[in-house]
Amino acid sequence: MSTSLRIKLTFSTGLITAVLLALITVLFMYTNVSPSAHQLLRSATLLEHPRALTSFTLVDHHNKPFTQVDLQGKWHLLAYGFLNCADICPTTLMLLNRLQLRLQAEGQYQDIHLLFYTIDPGRDTVERLAEYVPFFGANILGLKAAEAQLVSGASKQFEHELGIRVKIETTRGEQDSYKVSHGVALYLIDPQGRLHAVFKPSVDPFGISHFNHEDLYHDYVLIRKLA
């Protein structure tokens, strides 16, 4: 084989190899964007198919109706709990306010609306919500089930669709004395009024649940970039 032919064959083989490697790299990039992004989330679960919420009517702490229409066109982050909660609920409300302040300071997806839904509507009146919730942040809106939804049980549908977990233990013979316990989660609702992602807390060695600010900020910004 002549020297010139050998050089041509070597050049052609090298060129083909380079082209194949480039194609493989491009294919890898495009087929792995979604899985790698999901793997980068620290505490959130991004729903593959955002879940639409059934029609509901709540009351905010200004004593105004709040329905699924109010979710349209805006991103919302909803926490839940009750006003007599001694630890996780106030801590979570402070965390929400801190998240919004940081997003505003850094100019990162600051169009987020914060909601706090009470699971104890019997004791947590509109007046109590109006006094309690704004203490943790002027931009947090308190919500509770409307009276009609309590009677019909429709508020349970709202809680079920989000995945809100509540347990109420009554004390025998004492109608107003009961213990409320609940799960811990934050729900990100997209501008179409659909459940878009769920944020779960960390659990320390003592079994206490708490949200990590850095993880929440990281995951929220990443999810908004992917949206």
Query: Residues near 179 by Cβ (< 8 Å), separated by ≥ 6?
Result: 168, 169, 171
Q: What phi, psi does 190 have (nearest 5°)?
A: -85, 175
Mean pLDDT by 10 residues, the chain (227 residues): 49 51 44 60 94 94 96 96 89 96 95 95 93 95 86 80 84 68 91 97 81 96 94
**CA gap 152, 149 in Å, rounded:** 5
Residue ranges of domains in the chain: 1-40, 41-226
85 labeled binding residue: yes
Q: What tens digit of pLDDT does each residue of 118-163 get?
A: 999 888 999 999 999 999 999 999 999 988 777 667 778 899 999 9
Q: What is the pLDDT of residue 26?
A: 43
210 labeled binding residue: no
196 labeled binding residue: no
Report the predicted TM-score, pTM, of the whole model to 2 decimal places.
0.80
Give CATH for domain 41-226. 3.40.30.10
Q: What is the pLDDT of residue 128?
A: 96
